[in-house]
């Protein structure tokens, strides 16, 4: 065998070994629980003027099967509730991963809550907001709560 043939054989063998190691199967097990998990990272402000200042939240999420959000804009996935009110509000969330993919995902959502308003006749009110997500399989995340928000009259 010539020196060139030996070098080619060596490079081919090393190439095949490298390819073999790089093609190992990734586990089918999700990296996270398939029930979404969320964590409140930050809130824009704790005192707002009614009808003026929205409340911006940074929310960290993890989902083991990547089915957060929905391709149908009529299906809402983000739910939050002003604790002064009986009913929660819900909003659309676009898919955070391709809908056919079954992958573990994590990231940060920027959630903007419309400027709150006073419910009574006073010049100030306090409230908190609770927020959770629901994935396409119907799994509800844990519920997070903001710190106390003070709403001031204009």
SS (H, E, C) the chain: CCHHHHHHHHHHHHHHHHHHHHCCCCCCCCCCCCCCEEEEEEECCCEEECCCCCEEEEEEEEECCCCCCCCCCCCEEEEEEECCCCCCEEEECCCCCCCCCCCCEEEEEEEEECCCCCCCCCCEEEECEEEEEECCCCCECCCEECCCEEEECC
Determine the pLDDT at residue 17: 39
Q: Are 36 and 131 in contact (CB under 8 A)?
A: no
Residue among 130, 120, 37, 26 nearest 86 (CA): 130
Tell me the pTM: 0.79
pLDDT for res 31? 78
CA torsion, ordered 46, 52, 58, 62, to nearest 10 deg: 120
Of 91, 105, 111, give the one whose Cα is nearest residue 36.
105
Instruction: Point out the residues of the chain with pLDDT beneath 70.
Output: 1-28
Domains and CATH numbers, the chain: 37-152 (2.60.40.10)
Rounded Cα gap, residues 104 and 82, in angstroms: 31
Q: Which residue's structure tokens are 């929905």?
A: 70
What's the confidence (pLDDT) of residue 1? 56
Q: What is the pLDDT of residues 73-109, one digit of tens each?
A: 999 999 999 999 999 999 999 999 999 988 999 999 9
């Amino acid at each position: 065998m010539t020196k060139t043939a030996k070098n080619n054989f060596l490079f081919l063998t090393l190439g095949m070994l490298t390819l073999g190691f790089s093609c190992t199967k990734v586990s089918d097990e999700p990296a996270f629980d398939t029930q979404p998990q969320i964590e409140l990272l930050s809130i824009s402000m704790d005192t707002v003027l009614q009808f003026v200042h929205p409340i911006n939240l940074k929310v960290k999420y993890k989902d083991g099967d990547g089915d957060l959000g929905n391709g149908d804009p009529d299906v809402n996935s983000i739910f939050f509730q002003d604790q002064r009110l009986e009913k929660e509000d819900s909003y659309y969330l676009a898919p955070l991963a391709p809908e056919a993919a079954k992958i573990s995902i994590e990231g940060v959502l920027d959630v903007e809550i419309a400027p709150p308003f006073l419910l009574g006749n006073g010049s100030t009110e306090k409230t908190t907001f609770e927020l959770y997500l629901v994935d396409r399989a119907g799994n509800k995340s844990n519920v997070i709560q903001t710190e106390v928000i003070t709403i001031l009259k204009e």
